[in-house]
Structure 1
């Protein structure tokens, strides 16, 4: 079954506290003394037949890429009551956390693949009442934005010659109250070969500046990903676990998406994040068991094996969700990735001869 759990918290509130609003596809276990179940259960809890319809579509990408996504998203909840619509404007600057994936109930479901796909700040909220239908739409940024006039905001980054780029990034000047937690998952320790200074008018521009500085000093790319108040910096040499995508999870064959990128489409997964490593299967027989051999006798594209295999690094993830739609492709993750340096380049693309 499809699974989602959307929680909205007051600004500055710990996510472990009680949310202001909550919508979920499962029900939490009954508490002693309560007459009925409440929404907000885990992926293994009972499915709620009366769960409200949710729809969303957004892309998460490394913020260090100038042409990449800015992390903006929209989320619509359909079937809300008039009380929720009336307080739509009061939810601006609140924190929104959306978890999604697949819960128990289908052969391909795996509750372990549920995770947070969006953690950000509501920039605007719109309630709509048309006929007998009521819905509320949230426009969300993937980070905690400063509560200041955007035209007066500036981010300063200065890395003097001879200093550690990593340490200078940690000492970046952020406008209050935007003081995120910085996490580095990078093996490299680049030293500035020359002075690098930048003054940026948006958080996106600041992250692009981080990437430019790192690239100039080390010659390698830097991945920047933010979730809520935590910014993660990741390089390609940092060791992390490889997450497996089985052949029967694929929605069609992986496809080329640029010079070195491929796109893999699968049921919506919340356990894969920007910068993660994923592995694609080699070949499989008709019983679904993997085999290391590939037949050179086939003259058509294989229908029971992936055209690509090996290890890839995730660069972009596009989420598409429409909870009540019958089409299975309306609850999916489109993962864009490129080959990891550990691969044997000859084994990445497996075409029949």
Structure 2
């Protein structure tokens, strides 16, 4: 069975004001509202825009106030932030190959815009969500105080904790990145900070190695491959299609919707995948394709982008999927390693 849980929080609230789910109290509800979403998660140095979510069958009361779900100005002209949405998804018990342990948090973010539509018996609201609450119109306090001789990890952790005082911060980056002079940086958005950090760190770590900043749920993370995260094992029943090379050294893996794979994490390809039914084989005469074929189906890969696409009532299995962008895992050694 497909599972989702959508929680809505008023600005500053710690408990949800509204909850929509397919399994209230753990029991499947065949009358649960239809939910569609397109959730994108990438490092902030390469921003790709916001995520979208549509909920069908909402009440007229929700429809009437849909514009107030997003950022807006009240009658007195005061700026009001949008509500926070928390989306959990995956599979629940029911189908033989469903794995409930893979479901998890897909997205947490602030609603930027809300739209309500009513046509005949079709009533739905569409929402645009961004994980980071700061924009150029409403900037955050990103002040990087990076002094000569100081490690970037120390300065960056202090900067992120100042900008996000209510969020956990995890910084797992190389000790090699040390300032040879005072290098302060001030900006108003997380994307601006991430791009500056990426450019600076790549000069120290070398090509194809840099510090990325991302948001995983409610946690702000900075990583560069120095600290290897836990590996998520993929199994053959998880795959919706054959893994495909989409760029030089970049592979896309389509799996059943799951919330246990995050940007910057590692996935391990299923064992004996080359002998599985439906997999397209290659001969040694197919060079250089044979090289890509062998590299695709073995080893660990680093996740550089995650896209969750879902429609809770679609009969198409690909409409409840997680698309992973991955590159071969090349761990970065610590200084002296």
* Residue 341 (structure 1) shift: 2.1
Which of the residues 43, 48, 52 maps onto 1:74? 52
Which of the residues 67, 88, 97 maps onto 1:89? 67
Which residue of 1 is the match for residue 186 of structure 2?
199
1:124 aligns to 2:102 (yes or no):
no
1:25 aligns to 2:25 (yes or no):
no
Which residue of 2 is the match for residue 270 of structure 1?
259
Structure 1: runs of 5+ lacking an equivalent: 29-44, 289-293, 343-353
* Segment drifting more, 275-284 vs 186-195: 186-195
Higher helix share: 2
Aligned residue runs from structure 1 range 1-353, under 5 A: 1-14=1-14, 17=15, 19-28=16-25, 45-65=26-46, 68-70=47-49, 72-92=50-70, 93-145=82-134, 150=137, 155-172=142-159, 180-186=167-173, 188-219=175-206, 220-227=209-216, 229-284=218-273, 307-341=296-330
State how far apart, in whole Å, the 1-side matches of 2:297 and 2:100 are.
26
State how far apart, in whole Å, the 2-side matches of 1:285 and 1:256 are.
15
Q: Is the 8 A contact 2:41 2:305 kept in 1?
A: yes
TM-score normalised over the length of structure 1: 0.78
Identify if the C-alpha distance between structure 1 residues 174 and 227 changes in structure 2 by more than 3 Å, giving closer, same or farther.
same
What secondary structure is seen at the aligned counterpart in 2 of 1:208?
Answer: helix
* Segment drifting more, 80-89 vs 178-187: 178-187
What secondary structure is seen at the aligned counterpart in 2 of 1:335?
Answer: strand
Q: Is the 8 A contact 1:280 1:306 kept in 2?
A: no
Identify if the C-alpha distance between structure 1 residues 176 and 63 changes in structure 2 by more than 3 Å, giving closer, same or farther.
closer
Identify if the C-alpha distance between structure 1 residues 135 and 234 changes in structure 2 by more than 3 Å, giving closer, same or farther.
same
What secondary structure is seen at the aligned counterpart in 2 of 1:13?
Answer: coil
State how far apart, in whole Å, the 2-side matches of 1:88 and 1:151 are.
21
What secondary structure is seen at the aligned counterpart in 1 of 2:194?
Answer: helix
Structure 2: runs of 5+ lacking an equivalent: 71-81, 332-337
Q: Is the 8 A contact 1:54 1:77 kept in 2?
A: yes
In the alignment of these two chains, the number of paired residues is 310
State how far apart, in whole Å, the 2-side matches of 1:271 and 1:177 are.
24
Identify if the C-alpha distance between structure 1 residues 107 and 188 changes in structure 2 by more than 3 Å, giving closer, same or farther.
farther
* Structure with the larger RCO, 1 or 2 (CA within 8 Å, 6+ apart): 2
